[in-house]
Amino acid sequence: MGKNTSTAVPKPGKKPDELSLRRGLAGAFPAYKELMERTKSYHQEWKFYGAKIGWQLKIARNDKALLYLTPLDGAFRIGLALREAERDALLSSSLSTRLKDEIRVAKRVSEGYPLRISVFNAADMKPLGVALDILMRMRQ
């Protein structure tokens, strides 16, 4: 998994920009660009959460988060919470067995079933893309 270090994105006070993300995400940058294109109709807001977490991008519609993106060194992590019906839809979809297993073992919390997905390259976007298509359709 990528490390959350100062080389991945700028320090507090300077939001991540295209150049710093290209440099920090490295091989994951094309996947990041694909994700930004897929979610361009959503509100996107960067926020700094301190040295341990660093910068995080909230992608939301009507104040309801679709996902949170945390840039890492050479990768990024997606965090989201699945509602019961969304969880069921993803488990009955064409998602990879690995991703379905992660969904199955997620323990329910007040926001839903938490899911974290690490993305290292464009190939990692395929299962994430399937999941996002389902979630975006269900949350319209």
Tens-place pLDDT, residues 104-130: 999 999 999 999 999 999 999 999 999
In this prediction, residue 2 has a pLDDT band, given cuts at 50, 70 and 90, of very low
Question: Residue 4 pLDDT > 70, yes or no?
Answer: no
Q: How far is CA 80 from each of CA 8, 12, 44, 83, 140, rounded to the nearest angstrom? A: 21, 24, 15, 10, 16
In this prediction, residue 37 has a pLDDT band, given cuts at 50, 70 and 90, of very high
122, two tokens: 């464009």
In this prediction, residue 1 has a pLDDT band, given cuts at 50, 70 and 90, of very low
Tens-place pLDDT, residues 62-96: 989 999 999 999 999 999 999 999 999 999 999 99
pTM score > 0.75 for this model? yes
Q: How high does pLDDT run on average in the chain? A: 91
Q: Are 52 and 82 in contact (CB under 8 A)?
A: no
Q: Are 55 and 73 in contact (CB under 8 A)?
A: no
